[in-house]
Amino acid sequence: MSDEVPARGGARRAITGYSNPTVKFARSLREKKHRKREGRFLAEGLRLLTDARESGYLPELLLMAEGREPHDLLTLLEGDVLAAGGDVVTLPVDVLAKITGKENPQSVAGVYAEIGRSLGDPDRAAAPLFLVAQALRDPGNLGTMLRTADAVGAGGLILIDDCADPFSVEAVRASMGAVFTVPLVQTAWVPFIAWLRSGPGQLVAASLREPHDYRAAPYAAPCFLLVGNESRGLPESYEAACDLRVKIPMHGRADSLNAAVAAAVLAYEALAHLQPG
């Protein structure tokens, strides 16, 4: 962390101006370079922060708008943050809007330490299904894929190559709290495929090259469902390394689905095969 990060002291305080160092620090986390430097990210909204709390994650810095409506969940969150040594700050709504980048911000936001996991962390036996995304560029898609992974009970989401930042405000917002519940790994293709082949695992690609119909494909657990970049799809060499390629038929003029939507369709179909009944 840089010298700009406010010291943690388990204290309540009020801020009124835009030029306060805490405001500048929190606002800087909207940019990837500052998130990476600090190892911190922003999340907003009482529901999302409550989901994080229930998953064992508390913000190091809790930001609350002045004049907010009282809420039991916010009282519990505030108490837990202070007990853990975090800071609780109240500030005007317009200052909070500057931090979150929204004209009508949620009444509460938090600064969290990034949740990092390595390739060795996912337990292949923890779930029959994992999601894998390669070079996904849209943070909304990435957040939605995290939400899908949570919904299907996936063992994790593995991001391959140059993906959007899963800790951007947009991705965290779209994840609806799943950034705190789904094991998340960021890596490159070569180490990923080496790790995958070191143990059990079927790699299934969403593809147009010699595919099986996605509804009749022979899925096997643990199944790693791989989707590619929104505009280019997967590199041919990546598809060639997969154990199975599947296709979702298009019955209209569209030639493909949104990447996150495709992942959801495939995930639920694969899960139905892997967990019959």
Tens of pLDDT, residues 13-64 = 999 988 999 999 999 999 999 999 999 999 999 999 999 999 999 999 999 9
pLDDT confidence of residue 103: 72
pLDDT confidence of residue 254: 57
Residues 242 and 205: beta-carbon distance below 8 Å: yes
Single pTM value for the model: 0.88
Q: Could you please report the per-residue DSSP string of 189-244?
A: HHHHHHHHTTS--EEEEE-SSSPEETTT----SSEEEEE-BTTTBS-HHHHHT-SE
Cα(217)–Cα(270) distance, rounded to whole angstroms?
A: 8
Residues 53 and 112: beta-carbon distance below 8 Å: no
Q: pLDDT band at 1, cuts 50/70/90? A: very low
Question: Does the domain formed by 124-274 have CATH 3.40.50.1010?
Answer: no
pLDDT confidence of residue 275: 77
More confident residue, 164 or 207: 164
- pLDDT higher than threshold 80 for residue 159: yes
For the 12-113 domain, the top CATH level (class) is alpha beta
Mean pLDDT of the chain: 90
Residues 266 and 237: beta-carbon distance below 8 Å: no
Region of residue 267 (left: phi > 0; alpha: psi -120 to 50; beta: else): alpha
My answer on whether omega of the bond before 128 falls inside 30° of 0, hence cis, is no
Q: pLDDT band at 276, cuts 50/70/90? A: low
pLDDT confidence of residue 7: 45
Residues of the chain with CATH 3.30.1330.30: 12-113
Helix (H, G, I), strand (E, B) or coil at 143: helix
Cα(155)–Cα(150) distance, rounded to whole angstroms?
A: 9
Cα(242)–Cα(208) distance, rounded to whole angstroms?
A: 13
pLDDT tens digits, 160-205: 999 999 999 999 999 999 999 999 999 999 999 999 999 999 999 9
Cα(270)–Cα(277) distance, rounded to whole angstroms?
A: 13
Residues of the chain with CATH 3.40.1280.10: 124-274
